[in-house]
Structure 1
Amino acid sequence: MLFASEPLSVRMRPRNIDEIVGQQHIIGPHTALYKMIKNGHVPSLLLYGEPGVGKTSLAHAIAGTVQRDFFAINATASGKKEMEEVVETAKLTGNVILFIDEIHRFNKAQQDYLLPHIEQGLITLIGATTENPFHEVNPAIRSRCGQIKQLKRLEPDDILILLRRALHDRDRGLGTLAVDMEERLLSMIAEASGGDARLALNLLETIIYASQKDDGSVHVDEQTVRECVENRGFTHDKKGDTYYSLLSAFQKSVRGSDVDAALHYLARLLEGGDLAAVCRRLLVIAYEDIGLANPMMGVKVQAAIAAVERLGLPEARIPLSVVTIELCLSAKSNSAYKALDAAIHDVRSGKIGDIPDHLKDAHYKGASVLGHGKGYQYPHDYPNSWVFQQYLPDELLGVKYYSPKQNGDEKYYAKVYERLEQLKQQSHFRK
C-alpha cells in the first residue's frame, strides 16, 4: 500500500457544510449560520473548542460551500508578510476568507494590520482557538466577529459516521482497499477517540497500515486495534479552558451529591497529574458547600491533603477517593459564607455606622474621657456567659445576615441562633 502524502484526517475534511458531521447546534440546517452560508454570506467568525472537534474542517467546509478563495495561516508561525499576501490577493479577486488557527496568539502588530481590511470587507476572518475567546482573544478581534461559536466533542455515533465514510471513500479515503473489519472494532476506535475526529481518523489509518498483509489484503483484528488505541482516549488541557471546566464540574458534582460524577471528574483531574489543584478545590468545597452542616469535614479534608502530600500518586488517590465520597454524601450548607458576603456587601456600599461607644477600645490613657468602653457588660460575668447589649452600629440595628439551614449539624446551630434571637427580643422589650 502506498503511503498517502497527507493524513487521512486531512484528506477526509468536509468539502461543504452539508458534509459536516455533528455540531448541529452551530451548523445544522435549522441554524441561522447554515442558512446565511447557503445564501452566500459568510460573517467573520470565532470558533473555539478542544483539539479535534472540527474547527479547521468547518472553516474549509464554509469556504467550499461559498466557492471563495481560502487562505489558512497559524498565528504562531505566520507574520505580517503572509497577511500582506492575502490582502493583495483580496484586492485583485474581491473578498477572501482568511482562516487563522491559534488566533489568541496574535500580537498587537498583526491585529492592527488586519483589522481595517476586515472592516473594509476585503477579508472575512475565521479564527480558531482552543482557549475561551472571551478570556484570551483581544477585544478588538472579538468586536469584528459577528459570531462566536463553541464546538463540542463529537459523539461516538458521529465518529462512526466519519470512520465508515473514510473506509468507503475511494477518492480520498481507504475505499480502494479490501478492508475486512468488524463494526465493533470501529466502535472501539470511536470510543477511544474521546470525541476527537482527527484522532479517530488517524487511528483508523494507523490500524489499516498495521493490518495489511503481504498480498495487499487488510484484515483488522481486535489485538491490533487495542494496541493502537491504548491510552488514546484521554486528553488533559492543563491550565486551559477545559482544565478549569473540569475543576468546576468536579465541585458542582460534589455540591449536587452525585458520587459517580464527582469520581469521574476526579479521575480525569488525577490523570492530568495536578494534585495541588485537586486538594485546593476539595478544601474550598469543605467550607463553601458543606460548611456548618458538617464542620468536621474541613478537618478531614486537611488530614486527607496531608496524606496526599506524604503519599503522592498513585497512592494519593486512596485518601482522595474517601474524602470525595464523604463530601458528596455529607449534608450541605452555604449559609456561613453567604452571611459574610451579605455583610461585605453592606460594608462596600457604605453601610457601616459608628461603633457603639461601649465596644470601643478602652485600653489606652484618655479613652474614658471619650466614653470609650463605658457601660460595657462583660458576658462572662453573667449566667450562661450572655447578657443583652447592643453590638451593631445604630444604622444597622435589626439587620440579619445569617439565615441558618436545617441541614446536618447546622440544626444545632440553628436552635442556638433562634434562642439567642428570642432572648434579644425579650431583653429589648423589657428594656
Structure 2
Amino acid sequence: MQNEPLAFRMRPRNIDEVVGQQHIIGKDTALYKMIQNGHVPSMLLYGEPGIGKTSIAYAIAGSTNLPFFPLNATIAGKKDVEQIVSEARLTGKVILFLDEIHRFNKLQQDTLLPHVEDGSIILIGATTENPFHDVNPAIRSRCGEIFQLKRLTLEELVQLLKNALHDEERGLGKYSIDIHDEQIKKIAIASNGDARKALTLLESVFHASEEIDDIVRVEDSTIEHLAKRIGVYGDKGGTHFYNLLSALQKSVRGSDVNASLYYLAHLLENGDLIAVCRRLLVMAYEDIGLANPNVGAHVYAATEAAKVLGLPEARIPLANAVIEMCLSEKSNSAYQALDAAIKAIHEGKTGDIPMHLRDAHYAGAKTLGHVGYQYPHDYPIGTFGGWVNQQYLPDNLQDMEFYRPVIAGEEKRMATIYEKLKSLKNHNNQ
C-alpha cells in the first residue's frame, strides 16, 4: 500500500471521513441521511479535478455493504459493463462508479440503462465537464441528483494535510517530520482548492526534504520550488476553460481590474492564446461599444501583437487591453439594437423596400419606379455633414425604433445627434 500515492491512500473510507463538500455530504444533508439509512441513490458528481468526486464515491461505498465496481469510461468496454450487469443479477444490487461519464458511448449506455432504471445498478457518475452539456440526457434522467462540487477551502485543505501527517497507517504519521503550521498553510494555498494536489505536493515535499537525526526537516524553499505551477488547471477547451472566459468577460464588464487580470492570467497559463484573443476582441465591441469606439481598434492591435509575439510576451499587450476595457465607459447599445432588428425579422415584421431606395444603376430602373431618392450630401446641415428627411424603413415599419442610446462616454455625443435628427424628422413630418 505504501507504494501507492499519498492522495490514493488517504481517500476517505466512509462518509464521516470526507473533508470538504459539506454542502453535499455533510451530516445535515439529505444525501448523508439517506446513506446512513441504507439508501444510495444514483447521482452525478460534477466538478474540477482533484476536489473529491472519486473520494465521495469510495466513501459512499465504504458506508454501505453493497458490492462496488469502479470503471473509467475512457477505457471501459461493453464487456466490462456486461460483467457488472451479471453481478447485479446475482447479488440483487451493486454500486457502479463511472469516472469520466461524459465519455460513455451509446453501446455501453444501452447495456447499462435498464438496470439503472430498475435499481439493480446504483450509478455514481463523475465528470469534469458540465453534465447539462456533455452527459447524455438518458443518463441524466436516471440520476436523481446532480451535485456540483466546490474547491476545498484553505481551512479544509489544512485539515486534510494534517490528517495525512498524523495518520500512521495510511499517511506519514509513522515518520518524524519537522513541519510547522505556516508551511502546511503554504502547501494548502499553493494547491488552489485541489485536495489531490495538496496531498501530492505534501508527499513531494516530504521526499525532497533532508533527513537529519531521523527527523525529516521541511524547508520553505523546498515548498516554494515544488509549488510553482501547482495552481494551474489546464483543461484547454473544456468546461472550466469556458467558465474562465465567461468570468473574464463578466469581470471586465463589471469594471473589476483585479478580477479581470486574475482570470486573464489563468487563461494564459492554460495556453490557448487564440481563444483568449477572440474573446477580448468580442468584448471590445459587445461591452465597450459606442461608448468608446477607439477601444475596438486598440484591442485589435493588442491581440494581433499578442499573436505575433506569442507567449509569454503576449501577456504584455493583452494586460494593456484588459485594463483599458475595464476602466472604459461601456455600452452594449449597438449589438442590442441589431439583435432587436433580427428579432423583428424573425417575428415576421418585414415589408417592401421603399421604391426610392432600390437599385437604380441600370437601364430600365425608372420604368420599374426606382426613382425619387434624395442624396443627403446635397443637403448640408450645420457641422454634421448632410441630411435630408426621407423614408428609409418599409411603409409598415417606418415608426419602429431598434436603437436605444446609452448615455456614456462618446455615445453621449452620438445620442444627442440621434435625438436631434429624430426631432427634425418628426417636425418635418407634422
TM-score higher than 0.5:
yes
Equivalent position of 1:388 in the other structure: 389
Equivalent position of 1:310 in the other structure: 308
Equivalent position of 2:418 in the other structure: 417
Greater alpha carbon shift after TM alignment, 259-268 vs 165-174: 165-174
Greater alpha carbon shift after TM alignment, 273-282 vs 240-249: 273-282
**Partners of 2:361 and 2:314 in 1: CA distance:** 51
Alignment partner of 2:339 out of 338, 341, 356:
341
Q: Secondary structure, in 3 states, of the residue corresponding to 2:44?
A: strand
Specify the code of the residue in structure 1 equivalent to 2:89.
K
CA apart distance, 1:317? 1.7
* Equivalent residues in 2 for 1:350-365, closer than 5 Å: 350-365=348-363
Greater alpha carbon shift after TM alignment, 213-222 vs 138-147: 213-222
Equivalent position of 1:397 in the other structure: 398
Equivalent position of 1:55 in the other structure: 53
Equivalent position of 2:228 in the other structure: 230
Equivalent position of 1:147 in the other structure: 145
CA deviations 1:310-337 (Å, max 9, x no partner) are 3222222221111211111000000000
CA apart distance, 1:89? 1.9
Q: 1:126 to 1:365 in 2, by over 3 A?
A: same
**Partners of 1:91 and 1:307 in 2: CA distance:** 63
Task: State yes or no: 1:104 paired with 2:102.
Answer: yes
Specify the code of the residue in structure 2 equivalent to 1:27.
I
Q: How many residues align?
A: 426
Tell me the C-alpha RMSD between the 2 structures.
1.6
Equivalent position of 1:261 in the other structure: 259
**Partners of 2:389 and 2:251 in 1: CA distance:** 43
Q: 1:263 to 1:214 in 2, by over 3 A?
A: closer
Equivalent position of 2:376 in the other structure: 379
Alignment partner of 1:122 out of 111, 120, 123:
120
Equivalent position of 2:161 in the other structure: 163
CA apart distance, 1:11? 1.6
CA deviations 1:162-209 (Å, max 9, x no partner) are 111111122222222222211111111111112111121122222223
CA apart distance, 1:47? 1.0
**Partners of 1:372 and 1:335 in 2: CA distance:** 33
CA deviations 1:274-331 (Å, max 9, x no partner) are 2211211111111000000000111111221232233222222221111211111000
Task: State yes or no: 1:131 paired with 2:129.
Answer: yes
Alignment partner of 1:295 out of 282, 293, 296:
293
Task: State yes or no: 1:90 paired with 2:88.
Answer: yes
**Runs (4+) off by over 3 Å:** none
% identity of equivalent residues: 63
Q: 1:376 to 1:224 in 2, by over 3 A?
A: closer
Gaps of 5+ in 2: none
* Equivalent residues in 2 for 1:27-66, closer than 5 Å: 27-66=25-64
CA apart distance, 1:214? 6.7
User: Is the contact between residue 24 and residue 31 of structure 2 (CA under 8 Å) also seen in structure 1?
Assistant: yes
CA apart distance, 1:7? 1.6
User: Is the contact between residue 232 and residue 270 of structure 2 (CA under 8 Å) also seen in structure 1?
Assistant: no
Equivalent position of 1:19 in the other structure: 17
CA apart distance, 1:212? 5.8
Q: Secondary structure, in 3 states, of the residue corresponding to 1:174?
A: coil
Specify the code of the residue in structure 1 equivalent to 2:403.
Y
CA deviations 1:228-255 (Å, max 9, x no partner) are 3232222221111111111111111111
Specify the code of the residue in structure 2 equivalent to 1:286.
A
